Amino acid sequence: MNIDFEPIAVRDVYDGYMNAGYDGVVGYGGALDIRPKFQREFVYDNARQQAVINSILSGFPLNTMYWAKQTDPSTGDVAFEMLDGQQRTMSICEYLEGSFSVIVGGNPKTFDNLSAVDQERILDYKLMVYQCMGDEDEQLAWFEVINIAGLTLRPQELRNAVYTGPWLTDAKRYFSRENQGAHKLAKDYVTAGDVNRQDLLQKAIEWQGGKGDGSVKSYMNAHRKDANANALWTYFKSVIDWAKLIFPTRRAQLRSVPWNVLYEKYGQDQLDAGELEKRVKALMSDDEVQKRSGIYTFVLTGDERALSLRAFTVNQKLEAYEKQNGICPKCGEHYEFEEMDGDHILPWSKGGKTTSENCQMLCIRDNRSGG
Ligand SMILES: [Zn+2]
């Protein structure tokens, strides 16, 4: 692992600057990826952009920036990816492009309207840059540490800075664009989080990687040199298409269902969407069900635990305990209150409710064996 500290002049970073929107932003003679393709858009507001330029004109220091350094093994070419400093760098470059003006001496001035001295002051200003180079594990570990120390990148953004390559570029095309690709397809069926900040990409890798050894990191490492992300996309699409076919009725709870798990188990089954919807609809208005997103899992698996069914309160249990004089009706033995648990006399599956009238106390052994 190698970390270099290097002051770099604004004019060098601006050299070859190109802002191609979703197709990425580059600078530093084309060697610096300021904003990789399909990553979150530039978000500084006008006041913050102006503050960056005013700091430079006043000669004040800006915080250090972090670049990840990569060497192409085949050509030996060195390339950099901006890990932290994107907003500040783009503010500076966009000012040089003439995209906005700042108040200088009481008047709004674009870069072209500045005095030659002020123009040179900006172009000569040195940005404080840490460049780091190492293998993927070393880089990721280092990025995690500096992230704790002040960056606000998400884990998937950090991984994206390390596991670069054609696979990632293609994966971002599908998973990192708001209202397009995966987000457009799946937004009613998954919690997409912040798409621009790679939350949906992370979910897709978790779904796909879950079939292998389970870690997002190792999936990205294994596939980073793949020519494209077709496998990731087709799997994600299969899962969502299946979910839409089986449960076409829109409800907010659809977004919290582990679709990949259900698809793996039931994806090949002949299921009747109309019949399933009738059951889902009935369960949605069942007051005993506390976890409504679990209904989708329940109608497929039959496992009541998915529903978090209502449990008896301590008062209901104490009341039943007193009524029974501490005797377990199954085995006839006497127990302390703590040695017993509440049981539905008529189970939920047969229409029993969680009411005092339907509560009996069983010893723990009988309660377990009674299911
Ligand atoms: Zn008993």
User: How far is ligand 1, taken at its centre, from the CA of residue 330, in Å?
Assistant: 5
End of a domain among 122, 152, 182? 152
Question: Distance from the CA of 332 to the center of ligand 1, in angstroms?
Answer: 6
Ligand 1 centroid–CA 110 distance in Å is 84
Domain assignment of residue 133, yes or no: yes
371 pLDDT above the threshold of 60: no
Task: Check which CATH number belongs to the domain holding 347 and give it.
Answer: 1.10.30.50
Q: 148-199: per-residue pLDDT in tens?
A: 766 677 888 888 888 888 999 999 999 988 888 999 999 999 987 778 778 8
Q: What average pLDDT score do residues 10-35 get?
A: 92
CA 363 / ligand 1 centre spacing (Å)? 4
Query: How many domains are contained in the chain?
Result: 2
CA distance linking residue 42 with residue 58, whole number of Å: 24
pLDDT, residue 151, reads 64
For residue 298, being part of any structural domain is answered with no
Tell me the CA distances in angstroms from 175 to 39, 168, 202, 226, 243, one per residue in order: 10, 10, 9, 17, 18
Residue 125 forms part of a structural domain = yes
Check residue 40 and give its pLDDT.
63
pLDDT at residue 56 is higher than 60 = yes
**Rounded alpha-carbon distances, angstroms, from residue 215 to 46, 224, 225, 292:** 40, 14, 17, 29
119, 136, 152: which is the final residue of a domain?
Answer: 152
Domain endpoint, select from 113, 137, 152:
152
- Distance from residue 316's CA to the centre of ligand 1 (Å): 19
Would 332 be classed as within a structural domain?
A: yes
Å from CA of 329 to ligand 1 middle: 7
| 46 occurs within a structural domain | yes
User: What is the whole-number distance in angstroms between the Cα of residue 359 and the centre of ligand 1?
Assistant: 15
Radius of gyration of the chain (CA): 29
How many angstroms separate the alpha carbon of residue 246 from the centre of ligand 1?
Answer: 43
In a domain, 360, yes or no: yes
From ligand 1's centre to the CA of 365, what distance in Å? 6
> The domain containing residue 351 runs over which residues?
314-369
pLDDT at 250: 95
In a domain, 100, yes or no: yes
Tell me how far apart the alpha carbons of residues 287 and 100 are, in angstroms, rounded to a whole number.
Answer: 57
- Measure the CA–CA gap between 306 and 302, rounded to whole angstroms: 9
pLDDT of 82 higher than 70? yes
pLDDT digits 0-9 by tens, 315-343: 999 999 999 999 999 999 999 999 999 99
Q: How does pLDDT run across 110-149, given as a tens digit for each residue?
A: 999 999 999 999 999 999 999 988 887 887 887 777 777 6
Query: What CA–CA distance (Å, rounded) separates 292 from 310?
Result: 12
pLDDT at residue 214, as a whole number: 56
- Domain assignment present for residue 257? The answer is no
C-alpha of residue 71 to centroid of ligand 1, in Å: 70
